[in-house]
Structure 1
Amino acid sequence: MTDLSGPATDLFVDFLCPYAWRGVELAAVLRGQDETFRLRHFSLVEGNHAENAKTHNWSLTDQPLDAPDGDGYMKYQTPSLRAFLAATAAAKQGDDAAWAFTLALFRAHHEGKKALDDDTIAAAAEEAGLDLARFEADCRDEAALRAELKAEQDASREIGVFGTPTYVLPDGEAAYYRFENLTRDPATALEWWNIYKTVLRSDPGVATIKRAKNRPAARMS
């Protein structure tokens, strides 16, 4: 989405996902501590679509914005597509604009419980301090936005992304990191990030850590 100088950690997100929201919040804090992240998009609707179970036959970017609601993940098809296209348009105003808009939209949806609709997107654009006239013009170039989003989905499949947030480190190591807690504290964010990198690069090659079903309830933010 945004060209950055030097190595960056790619962060694949979907606005539908509360874990992705917490991952973006963590990355946003770490950006102030000499860590570099690049926002990328992965569609959970596309990734979980029944027609893509064995081979890839269904793409979110081929769907109209007036498609009727479906069942399961499909009821999120249009809101998800609308949010992705808007975020792609916002990124045309630079990396800081992309992060400001992404944070504003995630917070509106997951903290403010707002729908991913045109009103919420417009409010997020204003809160992010975007050039609104340019944003609206870029949003109207829907074909170009869909092409960029399709390239993101193609890249995510090549990497093997299956959930959000997925971090791809500059050396190519990649893993899904499910955050049950939210932090905006710099010291805590750095501690969690260092744990992630240590586990990902450790000699045992830990692939899955999943808490037992009857574990004590985690703090949820």
Structure 2
Amino acid sequence: MEQAKPGHGSRLHSASIRTAGVHVTNDVFTQAELCADPRCIERGGEKEVEMRLVVYFDYTCAYSYAAAVWLREVVALERELTVEWQPFVLRETNRPPDEGRPFWQQPGVLRTRTALAFAAGQAAARQDPDAYDRFRFALQTAVHSAHRDIREPGVIQALASEAGLDVARFGADLEQPGLLEEVGRSHQHAVEHYAVFGTPTLVFPTGCAVYLKLAPAPTDGAAARVFELLREINERHGAIQEIKLTRQAQP
């Protein structure tokens, strides 16, 4: 599941883009305006703007994993791009109103795969950012590609070791209270500031939040091209509010 059930937001098809309308700027920037930005850098005689992209994701979401695979390739090619991954809990978005407490405050919630993944991610984030990023991707890969049950003893610790984390420190941090409250604050910020309703949602420097489903993840040259198309829509075509494909194009 990648977005809210009916009542929280309409279901989109497997190739779709949607912009969220809260705290969004629809300014159209000229190249001169972009390169007047103090973040502008030189590359190959041309000016480019350093870009920080925030991605709201859920570890259990297959589309979040596809976005992670795609953006790893984009970052390898686009040195001005940095990506910050922030938690967004789909089970909270789809929580029945009569359940009362938010998902991250419910008794026994750490027995669920969703909560364990998010808690482990927050524990890893207390260490080196690069190691955290390796751990996040390894955890997503374990869930969606290797199909490992991260609740089995030793799986989370093995992923932490493979990512280069200090495993002893990671284990101690994982026992600390408040990890899921951090996740809850990220989720609430996403809803209140960017109207996030599903994952993955990409927040561009303009403040525009874009919900995007990719299946499969673009690779090789297509990865950068898809990102540039999305970036152009975001920065230069403010009139576009939603793109929806009713079916996948056939080759």
AA aligned to 1:65 is: G
Seq. identity, %: 28
Q: 1:216 to 1:183 in 2, by over 3 A?
A: closer
Q: Deviations over 1:50-88 (max 9, x none)?
A: 219xxx9541210233578xxxxxxxxx21011001001
- Which residue number in structure 2 is paired with residue 27 of structure 1? 71
AA aligned to 2:54 is: D
AA aligned to 1:36 is: T
Q: 1:217 to 1:89 in 2, by over 3 A?
A: farther
Cα distance in 1 between the residues matched to 2:239 and 2:158? 43
- Which residue number in structure 2 is paired with residue 82 of structure 1? 116
The answer to whether the 8 Å contact 1:49/1:58 transfers is no
The answer to whether the 8 Å contact 1:108/1:120 transfers is no
- Correspondence 1:123 to 2:158: yes
Measure how far apart 1:92 and its partner are.
Answer: 0.8
**TM-score w.r.t. length of structure 2:** 0.71
Higher relative contact order (CA 8 A, sep 6+): 2
AA aligned to 1:193 is: F
| Unaligned runs of at least 5 residues, structure 2 | 1-38, 40-49
Q: 1:122 to 1:64 in 2, by over 3 A?
A: farther
Cα distance in 1 between the residues matched to 2:250 and 2:89? 29
- Which residue number in structure 2 is paired with residue 201 of structure 1? 235
Measure how far apart 1:217 and its partner are.
Answer: 5.8
The answer to whether the 8 Å contact 1:8/1:38 transfers is yes
- Correspondence 1:101 to 2:135: yes
Residue number among 168, 174, 194 corresponding to 1:133 in the alignment: 168
Q: Which has the higher strand share?
A: 2
- Correspondence 1:37 to 2:87: no
- Which residue number in structure 1 is paired with residue 178 of structure 2? 144
**TM-score w.r.t. length of structure 1:** 0.80
AA aligned to 2:107 is: P
The answer to whether the 8 Å contact 2:103/2:109 transfers is no
The answer to whether the 8 Å contact 1:65/1:81 transfers is no
Measure how far apart 1:46 and its partner are.
Answer: 0.4
Equivalent position SS for 1:115 = coil
Number of corresponding residues: 199
Larger mean CA deviation between 130-139 and 154-163 belongs to 154-163
Cα distance in 1 between the residues matched to 2:229 and 2:249? 21
The answer to whether the 8 Å contact 2:109/2:115 transfers is no
- Which residue number in structure 2 is paired with residue 17 of structure 1? 61
Residue number among 86, 93, 114 corresponding to 1:47 in the alignment: 93
Q: 1:173 to 1:112 in 2, by over 3 A?
A: same
**C-alpha RMSD of the superposition:** 2.5
